[in-house]
Amino acid sequence: GEDVEQSLFLSVREGDSSVINCTYTDSSSTYLYWYKQEPGAGLQLLTYIFSNMDMKQDQRLTVLLNKKDKHLSLRIADTQTGDSAIYFCAESMHGGSQGNLIFGKGTKLSVKP
């Protein structure tokens, strides 16, 4: 079956790095995504990684993918108070009949000044 697991909470100090981890079960997933949800808002796509990549960097964001262990992580460098939000990991399957993403429960990141 399909399942995406994340820890529910992470607390860091401003300026430190944050690492949010995710595990998934479907080895046929083609793309894996990170979404950010700020309080009272919908989800916004942060970044994605294709399953044949190991790493993707986009400014302060680094995504690491370990296909063997089905482990995905999102590293936020120099974390700011504005990064406080819930971060969702999601996987999709190429050509999946349902066409929907499978989301984790979300990790709430709290950044302390």
Contacts to another protein by CB under 8 A: 8, 30-31, 33, 35, 40-45, 48, 50, 88, 92, 94, 98-101, 103-106
Contact 12, 77 (CB under 8 A): no
State the Cα torsion 85-64-30-109 to the nearest 10°: -10
40 vs 82 by CB, closer to another protein: 40
Distance CA 100, CA 113 (A): 37
Q: Judged by CB, which is closer to another protein: 45, or 77?
A: 45
Nearest approach in angstroms of CB 37 to another protein is 9
